[in-house]
Amino acid sequence: MSTPEDELITPEGLEALKAELAELEGPRRAELSKRIQAAREEGDLKENAEYHAAKEEQSHMETKILRLQERLRKAKVTEADGASGKVAFGVPVTVTDVDAGREQSFTIVGPTEADPGSGKISSESPVAKALLGTAPGETVQVDSPGGKRSWRVEKVG
């Protein structure tokens, strides 16, 4: 059971977070440390633009590392379960925008994994909320900025 603190995420999303954190904590941190050391060796730090830029970048990177660690701590991996035949988190779905007659496919993922250009929509989006739990053949109404839209589920999984 998830809590409001949990961040729903797919197994792939979890691996991507871990990889990003490993990159920042390993090679990126080492490279930045070398840049700071090289800038220090240049002499007067008060007017050393390279040193100050590298220190600022280090601060941003450390903040990003802390945020990633927090996201990993809150991550609740949710496996895709398409066995029910209903629209579910992490399960590919094909729908038709009834009003436009346009078919599209996407996967409902956690908000931090969402990337509409890659066919991943946030579980917190109006479309995802309306579609979750529906089966092929069902039609849902979704309030969108352009008005109400009708979406028909064509295929799940």
d(CA 2, CA 60): 30
For residues 96-103, average pLDDT: 92
Query: Which one has a higher pLDDT value, 1 or 16?
Result: 16
Q: What is the pLDDT of residue 82?
A: 65
Has residue 94 got a pLDDT over 90? yes
Taken in order of first residue, the domains within the chain and their CATH numbers are: 7-77 (1.10.287.180), 82-156 (3.10.50.30)
What is the reported pLDDT for 65? 97
Query: Are 15 and 85 in contact, with CB atoms under 8 Å apart?
Result: no
Task: State phi, psi for 79 to the nearest 5 degrees.
Answer: -75, 140
Is the pLDDT score of 66 beyond 90?
Answer: yes
Can you give the pTM of this predicted structure? 0.70
Residues 6+ positions from 96 with CB-CB distance below 8 Å: 102, 103, 104, 151, 152, 154
pLDDT at residue number 136: 95
Residue 1 pLDDT > 70: no
The least confident of 63-67, 108-112, 132-136 is 108-112
Contact 128, 108 (CB under 8 A): yes
